Amino acid sequence: MAKLNVNGKALDVQVAEDTPLLWVIREQIGLTGTKYGCGVAQCGACTVHIDGVATRSCSVPVSAVTAEQKIVTIEGLSPDGRHPVQQAWIKHDVPQCGFCQSGMIMATVALLQANPKATEADIASEITNICRCGTYARVKTAILDVVAGGTLGRG
């Protein structure tokens, strides 16, 4: 039994307490935008925000999250899918297969919230998510576009 706050909703979930948050989000709560890619904190496909911090949810047991901590998944990032980072992703046609992109977007939003003037070097060191389709160049361009537009926080 765990009490969680996901995308602004307080939820009670019946689940063994060592279950990774990723699988609670996907299987108990039913939000499948957050992806499984490795299960060992290597790929970032499972990235969500916990109190605004990008977190690889595959490696956090649900028992480690309190009812007060605010969990945000890709589905809760914006009411209409028009967060400035999502818009930049659409403008630059970033995704290929798309499987890694929820995690990429969540990692990017957390980076830009902490560091709205992120440079190429910041992006290189902070965005460590794996994309096997190789969208890195477009990811970089889209992030720099958001930085240049200064739109974060206004969306």
Partner 1 sequence: MTSASTASSKTPSSKANLSRRSLLAGSVAAAGAFSFGFAIPFGSEAQAQGATPEINAWVVIHPDDKVVIRIVRSEMGQGTLTGLAQLVAEELNCDWTKVTTEYPTPGQSVARNRVWGNFSTGGSRGIRESNEYVRKGGAAARMMLIQAAANEWKVPAAECSAEKSVITHKASGRSLRYGQVAAAAAKIEAPKDVALKDPKDWTIAGKPLPRLDTVDKTNGKKIYGMDLKMPGMLNAAIKDCPVFGGKVKSFDAAAIKAMPGVRHVLPVGDSAVTVVAETWWQAKSALDALPIVWDEGEHAKVSSESIAAWLKEGLDAPVAVVGNQNGDVKAAIAAAAKTVEAVYSYPYQNHATMETMNATAVWTPDRCEVWTPTQNGEAALAATAEAAGLPIAKCEAYKIDLGGGFGRRGASQDWVRQVVAIAKQIPGTPVKLIWSREEDMTHGRYHPVTQCKMVGAFDKDNNLTGLHMRISGQSIVAGLFPQTIQNGRDPAVFQGLNAPGPEASIGYGVPNLLVDHAMRNPHVPPGFWRGVNLNQNTIYLESFMDELAHSVGKDPLEFRRGLMKNHPKHLAVLNAVAEKAGWGKPLPDGVFRGICQTMGFGSYVAAVAEVSVSPAGQLKIHRIVAATDPGHAVNPAQIERQVEGSFVYGLSASLYGEITIKDGRVEQENFDTYEVMRLEAMPAVETVIVPSGGFWGGVGEPTIAVAAPAVLNAIFAATGKRIRSLPLKNADLKKA
Q: Is 95 in the site for ligand FES (CB under 6 A)?
A: yes
For residues 149 and 95, give the distance between their C-alpha atoms in angstroms, rounded to a whole number: 21
> Contact at 8 Å (CB) between 21 and 62?
yes
Question: What are the backbone dihedrals phi and psi of residue 16, each rounded to the nearest 5 degrees, phi first?
Answer: -60, 140
* Least Cβ distance, residue 10 to ligand FES (angstroms): 25
Q: Is 132 exposed, middle or buried (0-12, 13-18, 19+ CB in 10 A)?
A: exposed
For residues 67 and 90, give the distance between their C-alpha atoms in angstroms, rounded to a whole number: 34
- State the binding string over 49-88 for ligand FES (x if CB under 6 A, else -): -------x-x------------------------------
Task: Give me Rg for the CA atoms of the chain.
Answer: 15
Contact residues for 85 (Cβ-Cβ < 8 A; gap 6+) = 77, 105, 108, 109, 112, 142, 143, 146, 152
With CB under 5 to 8 Å by kind, the binding choice for 66 among partner 1, ligand FES, none is: none
Binding residue count for partner 1, defined by CB under 8 A: 57
For residues 85 and 72, give the distance between their C-alpha atoms in angstroms, rounded to a whole number: 15
* Least Cβ distance, residue 114 to partner 1 (angstroms): 17
With CB under 5 to 8 Å by kind, the binding choice for 16 among ligand FES, partner 1, none is: partner 1
Q: Is 96 in the site for ligand FES (CB under 6 A)?
A: yes
Residues of this chain that bind ligand FES (CB under 6 A): 36-39, 41-46, 56, 58, 95-101, 131-133, 135
Residues of this chain that bind partner 1 (CB under 8 A): 16, 19-20, 23, 26-28, 30-40, 42-43, 45, 73-75, 77, 81, 86, 89-90, 93-102, 105, 123-125, 127-140
